[in-house]
Amino acid sequence: MSERVTMPALGESVTEGTVTRWLKSVGDSVEVDEPLLEVSTDKVDTEIPSPVAGTLQEILVEEDETVEVGADLAVIGDGDAPASSDSDEGGADDSADEQAESPAASEDAAGTQEQQAEAEEEATAPSTAEDEPAKKPQAETASTDEGQKVQMPALGESVTEGTVTRWLKAEGDEVEVDEPLLEVSTDKVDTEIPSPVAGTLTSILVQEDETVEVGADLAVIGGSGGGSASAEEPQQEAPKEEAPKQEAPKEQPAQETQESASSEDTDDSAQKDESLPEDGEGGDVADQPAGQSAPSTGGESAATQQAPASGSSTSAPASGDSAPQDASKYVTPLVRKLAADNGIDLADVQGSGVGGRIRKEDVLEAARAKNAPAEQPSAPAAQAPAAQAPASSSTPPRGMESSVSPSKRGTREKMTRLRKVIAQRMVESLQVSAQLTTVVEVDMTKIARVRARTKADFERREGTKLSFLPFIALATAEALKQHPVVNSSVEGEEIVYHGSENLSIAVDTERGLLTPVVKNAGDLNVAGLARAIADVAERTRANKITPDDLSGGTFTITNTGSRGALFDTPILNQPQVAMLGTGAIVKRPVVVTDADGGETIAVRSMMYLALSYDHRVVDGADAARFLGTVKARLEEGSFEA
């Protein structure tokens, strides 16, 4: 039985994709979710994983061919490759023989899987003309006499340029296929650029902090090896090294998932139970079990966060003799930054991740162990005030970590590209629109009771934690349908009333504030919103978010309450005309009117909702009516979770 691999939809407006490179050849065995090929669109470059385990029987779309979404790319079966595949491969060998005599051609004719894998590895890496195998035509089109050029990819539909923020390799370093080579920042995403081939980084053409256009040459990678003797040894050992190389892409997404889950657990433990979930100053929006991971089709190269790490020239491991040592070299930028901020030497940290990889949790544990003696004297003094005020849920937890390391005191650093973009857009927003804020107070007691009663069952059923934010998001989406002026935007001298409720959710990341979008939020229930918010928040923190995920929002929700703030006055996310800020939920005495009209004083869970809006379009009465609708829906408390 065979399974067809089709071109997936890689973005809302993406209708086609180009096959840039096949990572497997006909006859190779593949595992479930193992990277099969690389695809490029006008928005993103990514890997396509295999949907099933089996043998790659047929490749239907060749490299550099463009096909529509849904088109068949390959056939994977559970048996041996058909005879037609052998003949096709033989034709490729003949073509290679016409260009250059290749020792690998006769080996390919033998048809063994190990020899095919070796031929594929040699085809991917530029080498001498004597050693180039069947896939050399593809390498010729993208290479020069010096070697393979690495170019600035298109990282989004409207992205025309990018800034090199950090080189992860130095000239003379050895690199493997898909090993992160440099970090690039645009006005939409920060990401790593992987090496398209294996070899030696011979030349860096664009220095750090330089901005170049899409398609510009960034570096040159030449063939590895310094002499004939050294060149022969890797060629002979290639079949042995192939296995670990194929396993690496599968281990990396698993590690990223564990790191993401570890990060979320840490965030969750740092706040009160009644704090709202994550937003721009983030709490636990993305809290969920490690089993619910974000899509990992992008592999290691797509799962990076901007972080200053050592520009080490350590070459990539060439063999799997020591798994923990090799794994430690693949430390993510997030972990490297965390270790640097806390003064932790990664060589002294024992990794608990897959293959001995070092996770964020391992670094945090090492930091706690390092600082434990200094913290002990202050512990008794901290216990007394805690005992005196146990009900102060609005007070931020003691020792809350800052987004900027204390080691930065007395220093100066250049703004990151993302911080420059945020600064520019915030100032522009205040210049473009007439902004003001209206605030109401909401009794969240009924919602708190619903959440307390159902959150355990909800987490088991849905695989994500139930916070207050999905209830607020649902009430907001319903109110936007009743008050379309709040869900509008200004284009020239026209007001555009949007036909759907696309909620931008502010997410606090180490790189800065980002607003991924939950599309068609008005069509979702509490469970659907909880899953969607957790998904976009997790992928945003892990830097797996795409430009499509950050665009198309019609209304924004931002929550500073998760860090104890009662309310704020948000700056609008242009071109939107309104943004809702959610404050901390605080238990305090309030006057309550009973059914008979009597008044009593009771302890209730109270929250402030602050709506910033554009007075060019939205009047104060419109804002008050919208907030009144949201308030009534929340205080009613009739939600199914």
What is residue 214's predicted lDDT score, i.e. its pLDDT? 87
Q: Is the pLDDT of residue 245 over 50?
A: no
Q: Where residue 43 falls among pLDDT bands split at 50, 70, 90?
A: low
CA 54, CA 33: separation in Å to the nearest integer? 11
What is residue 246's predicted lDDT score, i.e. its pLDDT? 42
Q: Is the pLDDT of residue 235 over 50?
A: no
**pLDDT, tens only, 160-174:** 888 898 899 999 999
Q: Is 225 left (phi over 0), alpha (psi -120 to 50) or beta?
A: left
Listed residue (561, 555, 556) closest to 607, CA to CA: 561
Q: Where residue 206 falls among pLDDT bands split at 50, 70, 90?
A: very high
What is residue 594's predicted lDDT score, i.e. its pLDDT? 85
CB distance 209 to 166 below 8 Å: no
What is residue 312's predicted lDDT score, i.e. its pLDDT? 39
Q: Is 323 left (phi over 0), alpha (psi -120 to 50) or beta?
A: alpha
CA 238, CA 212: separation in Å to the nearest integer? 36
Give whichever of 28-42, 73-87, 462-476 has the largest mean pLDDT.
462-476
Q: Is the pLDDT of residue 27 over 80?
A: yes
What are the start-end ranges of the H helices in 74-227?
Answer: 83-99, 103-110, 113-124, 136-141
CA 218, CA 210: separation in Å to the nearest integer? 10
Tokens of 75: 């056939």
CA 233, CA 159: separation in Å to the nearest integer? 43
Listed residue (269, 189, 289, 258) closest to 534, CA to CA: 289
**pLDDT, tens only, 269-293:** 334 444 444 444 444 443 333 333 3
Mean pLDDT of 515-537: 93
Q: Where residue 96 falls among pLDDT bands split at 50, 70, 90?
A: very low
Alpha-carbon dihedral sign for residues 198, 202, 207, 211: negative
Q: Where residue 228 falls among pLDDT bands split at 50, 70, 90?
A: very low
**pLDDT, tens only, 541-589:** 888 888 888 999 999 999 988 888 999 999 999 999 999 999 999 999 9
CA 134, CA 71: separation in Å to the nearest integer? 25
Which is it for strands 555-559 and 503-505: parallel, antiparallel or unpaired? parallel
Listed residue (502, 505, 438, 476) closest to 629, CA to CA: 476
What is residue 386's predicted lDDT score, i.e. its pLDDT? 41
CA 562, CA 383: separation in Å to the nearest integer? 23
In the chain, the percentage of residues whose pLDDT exceeds 70 is 65
CA 572, CA 436: separation in Å to the nearest integer? 10
What is residue 82's predicted lDDT score, i.e. its pLDDT? 46
Q: Is 483 among the catalytic positions?
A: no
In the chain, the percentage of residues whose pLDDT exceeds 90 is 34
What is residue 496's predicted lDDT score, i.e. its pLDDT? 95
What is residue 143's predicted lDDT score, i.e. its pLDDT? 56
Across the chain, what does the average pLDDT equal? 73
Catalytic entry in 80, 190, 615, 622: 615
CB distance 123 to 148 below 8 Å: no
**pLDDT, tens only, 399-450:** 566 777 788 889 988 888 788 888 999 999 999 999 999 999 999 999 999 9
Q: Is the pLDDT of residue 34 over 50?
A: yes
Q: CB 459: neighbour CB atoms within 10 A?
A: 16
What is residue 157's predicted lDDT score, i.e. its pLDDT? 65
Query: What is the set of domains in the chain, with CATH numbers?
Result: 2-141 (2.40.50.100), 148-222 (2.40.50.100), 241-270+316-375 (4.10.320.10), 417-636 (3.30.559.10)
Q: Is 498 among the catalytic positions?
A: no
What is residue 153's predicted lDDT score, i.e. its pLDDT? 87
Catalytic entry in 45, 72, 619, 622: 619
Give whichever of 249-253, 301-305, 413-417 has the largest mean pLDDT.
413-417
Mean pLDDT of 478-502: 95
Q: Where residue 122 falls among pLDDT bands split at 50, 70, 90?
A: very low
Indicate the helix (H) or strand (E) that contains 382.
helix 379-388
